Amino acid sequence: MPQSTPLLLMAPPARPSLEAWLRYFDDLGLGPFYLDRTAMELPAADPVAAPPPTPAASPAPVLPAAAGPARAARPQDAVLPVVPSLFEVASRAGFEGDTLPRIREDLGDCKRCRLCQGRNTIVFGDGNSQARLVFVGEGPGHDEDVQGLPFVGRAGKLLTQMIEAMGLRRGDVYICNVVKCRPPGNRQPERDEIATCSPFLDRQLAAIRPKVIVCLGGVAAQALLGTNKAISQFRGQWFDFRGAKLLATYHPAFLLRTPSAKSDVWTDLKKVMHELGLKPPKPKPRSG
């Protein structure tokens, strides 16, 4: 089927929402969409996985279709490797020379989705605007919502330790989330919330142009890769993300609940270190 026909063939209930979605991206200057991607084979969807968020930073040509029997080969099941580079994304969208302060300004006192109702502070992102390494989490929690900074709670402290174990300081990297406002009760962000926020994440990544993006947890990985596979099926693997290398690993909050998964995460982070030419710091001699 030609990739340009899904809008015409889409079941009626899905069409208005897709049209609104496309108009919204148009308003942001983020069209045209990439209709020329080929799907990479991924294993079948995990039936117990959480429902997939909408492909976020890679606006796909089709939103999830209305109910229908066919589960195979849906666009959101696929990782889409043939994509423009982060630089091309910015320039095609008219954001050449985009900067984080400008993106923050465009975000403004955002009321584009329902998450604004419960938030205290917008958590835009934090760190080095020229970082070679960007961590993308799910969304702010309570502490982040209070402080306006990503990953400052318990999970954030563990993330800081992970970064330092890689021989970096927190200020060397950039840290942000798929959604910028705290979902009520720390629930997972919903697909429309992710879709609404994703143009800003897109622009952040395109402005920073990191060498490596690490997705922390399934929500971030599913959103950026446009898949609904469970993270356990592809964590630790490299994907191309618009010219950057992307790897997903477990979320630090998951590690707090499941310390036995720390060794998997360390294995993943060592791959990232290798890619960036980093060596772990020498252990400090014990005093006394």
Binding site for ligand URA (CB under 6 A): 137-141, 144, 150-151, 153, 155-156, 177, 253
Shortest approach of ligand URA to residue 197 CB, angstroms? 13
- Residue found under tokens 């690490």: 214
Q: Which is nearer to ligand URA, 61 or 252 (CB)?
A: 252
How far apart, in whole angstroms, are the C-alpha atoms of residue 116 and residue 112? 8
Shortest approach of ligand URA to residue 261 CB, angstroms? 16
Whether 203 and 102 have beta carbons less than 8 Å apart is answered as no
Burial (CB count within 10 angstroms: exposed 0-12, middle 13-18, buried 19+), residue 82 = exposed
Shortest approach of ligand URA to residue 260 CB, angstroms? 20
DSSP assignments along the chain, one per residue: --TT-HHHHS-TTHHHHHHHHHHHHHHTT--S------PBP-PPPPTTSPPPPPP-SS--S-PPPSS-S--TT-GGGSB------HHHHHHHTT-TT--HHHHHHHH-S--SSGGGGT-SS----EE-TT-SEEEEES---HHHHHHTSSS-SHHHHHHHHHHHHTT--GGGSEEEESSSSPPGGGPPPPHHHHHHHHHHHHHHHHHH--SEEEEESHHHHHHHHT--S-GGGTTT-EEEETTEEEEEE--HHHHHH-GGGHHHHHHHHHHHHHHHT--PPPPPPPP-
For residue 93, the one-letter residue type is A
Shortest approach of ligand URA to residue 252 CB, angstroms? 7
Q: Which is nearer to ligand URA, 156 or 210 (CB)?
A: 156
C-alpha Rg value of the chain to the nearest Å:
19
Shortest approach of ligand URA to residue 201 CB, angstroms? 12
Q: Which is nearer to ligand URA, 195 or 221 (CB)?
A: 221
Q: Which is nearer to ligand URA, 90 or 247 (CB)?
A: 247
Shortest approach of ligand URA to residue 108 CB, angstroms? 20
Shortest approach of ligand URA to residue 233 CB, angstroms? 20
Q: Which is nearer to ligand URA, 10 or 222 (CB)?
A: 222
Q: Which is nearer to ligand URA, 53 or 141 (CB)?
A: 141
Q: Which is nearer to ligand URA, 145 or 202 (CB)?
A: 145
Shortest approach of ligand URA to residue 138 CB, angstroms? 4
Closest residue to ligand URA using C-beta atoms = 137
Q: Which is nearer to ligand URA, 103 or 122 (CB)?
A: 122
